[in-house]
Amino acid sequence: MTSNDTLSPVRGKLLRNEPLAPYTWFRVGGAAEALFIPADAEDLADFLKALDPAVPVTVLGVGSNVIVRDGGVEGVVIRLAGRPWAQITTDGDTVTAGAGALDSMVAKASAKAGIAGLEFYAGIPGTIGGALTMNAGCYGSETKDVLVSAWGLTRAGERVDYDLADFGYTYRHSQAPADIIWIEATYRGTADEPEAVAARISEITSRRETTQPIREKTGGSTFKNPEGHSSWKLVDEAGWRGKLHAKTGGGAKFSELHSNFMINPGEATAADIESLGEAVRADVLAKTGVLLEWEIKRIGRAG
Ligand SMILES: Cc1cc2nc3c(=O)[nH]c(=O)nc-3n(C[C@H](O)[C@H](O)[C@H](O)COP(=O)(O)OP(=O)(O)OC[C@H]3O[C@@H](n4cnc5c(N)ncnc54)[C@H](O)[C@@H]3O)c2cc1C
């Protein structure tokens, strides 16, 4: 895409050369050639239908599990931000939420409606779109345990409907085509007293406060837990908890509080953070024979 390329008129916001760092938890990375915040699903579908199929499209939630590389992102980045994307409705034991709704708001709305089962979403700082892609979960529950169905748009702007089985979920992974943009999801829980659900949510949020660096610039779990291992333990035992990496600047390090979370203390670049992760993967492999797999998605071009 060049700066002269025409993009079709939209009702939402279309920004050229928009820095993406402010849209991510790590606060690093370059700009999007174009950032599109659609007004609604119809606006997004029209835009995608008119967009040259050669232009790459990337979706960003609230950037709590991504590193945007320093060279920025080619093509169009789409964010489902704002009220139309964050609608949450309940009906009996069913919850329907827009892909831009925060997981924590979905947990709260479920509690209010006396629906149990989605409490774990209170501990995940992402959006429903991110949760659908990552099969987000914690404390023994995952998205796949409560999801009924979801719908989205293909890169060509056509609607697709998915039932739970179509996602082929495994640990932090969906087999759905990566280019589907999720628009809305429906979940089913079980009836319970709103106070009881709210109490479990409070337990989860206070547990988070003491075990995760939730006020830092981070990206959540850096690596998936390999079969039979905990990533935090492997990183810790290899000596990386809180340790600065000699070869990277900016003070990027693995958190003292949670050794599977990387931290940008303020001055790190995306390259500093990613190369720290790669250095730890190589070190853990050399010391234990276990190859850590990135959970964090890395997007865009190196700087
Ligand atoms: C402090 C902290 C704690 C965390 N704890 C947990 C935890 O306990 N459990 C856990 O599972 N995760 C955890 N995470 C990681 C993260 O919150 C989840 O992976 C979350 O689901 C990501 O959502 P997001 O909106 O931030 O997505 P992003 O990080 O913006 O994107 C993640 C991926 O989802 C895709 N995506 C986002 N929206 C859409 C959409 N509408 N359609 C299609 N694809 C989309 C993106 O393209 C990208 O591939 C934590 C993160 C932090 C910072």
Nearest CA, atom 2, ligand 1? 220
Tokens of 261: 């979370």
212 CA: nearest ligand 1 atom = 1
Burial of residue 67, with CB atoms counted within 10 A of its CB: 0-12 exposed, 13-18 middle, 19 or more buried: buried
The per-residue DSSP string of 103-120 comes to: HHHHHHHHHHTTEES-GG
Residue of 65, 171, 221 to test ligand 1 pocket, by largest number of atoms within 8 Å of CB: 65
One-letter amino acid of 17 = N
CA of 129 to the centre of ligand 1 (A): 8
CA of residue 10 to ligand 1 center, whole Å: 27
180-196: b (≥16 Cβ within 10 Å) or e: bbbbbbbbbbeebeeee
Is the minimum distance from the CB of 72 to ligand 1 under 6 angstroms?
Answer: no
Smallest CA-to-CA distance from 126 within 214, 39, 38, 30 is with 214
- In short, whether 104's Cβ falls inside 6 Å of ligand 1 is no
Supply the DSSP string of 14-39, one letter for each residue: EEEEEE-GGGSSS----EEEEEEE-S
By DSSP bridging, strand 31-37 and strand 73-79 are parallel
Would you say the CB of residue 133 lies under 6 angstroms from ligand 1?
yes
CA nearest neighbour of 271 among 56, 69, 120: 69
Say how far apart CA 299 and CA 71 lie, in whole Å.
10
Give pLDDT, residue 245. Answer: 79
Retrieve residue 183's tokens: 């628009």
pLDDT of residue 18: 98
- The pLDDT of residue 6: 67
Active site residues: 172, 221, 295
How far is the centre of ligand 1, averaged over its atoms, from the C-alpha of 61 (Å)?
7
Does any ligand 1 atom lie closer than 6 A to the CB of residue 297? Answer: yes
Find, among 134, 129, 124, the residue nearest to 173 by Cα: 134
Q: Could you list the pLDDT tens digit for every one of the 303 residues in the chain?
A: 655 566 778 999 999 999 999 999 999 999 999 999 999 999 999 999 999 999 999 999 999 999 999 999 999 999 999 999 999 999 999 999 999 999 999 999 999 999 999 999 999 999 999 999 999 999 999 999 999 999 999 999 999 999 999 999 999 999 999 999 999 999 999 999 999 999 999 999 999 989 999 999 999 999 999 999 999 999 999 999 998 877 777 889 999 999 999 999 989 999 999 999 999 999 999 999 999 999 999 999 998
Distance 64 CA to ligand 1 centre (A): 5
Which residue has tokens 């001055």?
A: 267
Please report, as a single letter, which amino acid is at residue 211. Answer: T
DSSP single-letter state for residue 289: S
Cα gap 181→184, rounded to integer Å: 10
Virtual torsion, Cα 10, 48, 154, 98, nearest 10 deg: -10
What is the Cα–Cα distance from 293 to 266, expressed in whole angstroms? 25
Atom number, ligand 1, closest to the C-alpha of residue 182? 42
Distance CA 244, CA 167 (A): 39
Does this model's pTM top 0.85?
Answer: yes
The preferred substitution site among 133, 147, 184, 258 for testing ligand 1, maximizing ligand atoms within 8 Å of CB, is 133
| CA angle in degrees (0–180, nearest 5) for 87-125-279 | 145
**Strand-strand pairing, 73-79 and 57-60:** parallel
CA of 80 from ligand 1 middle (Å) equals 13
CB 217 within 8 A of CB 63: no
129 lines ligand 1 (CB under 6 A): yes
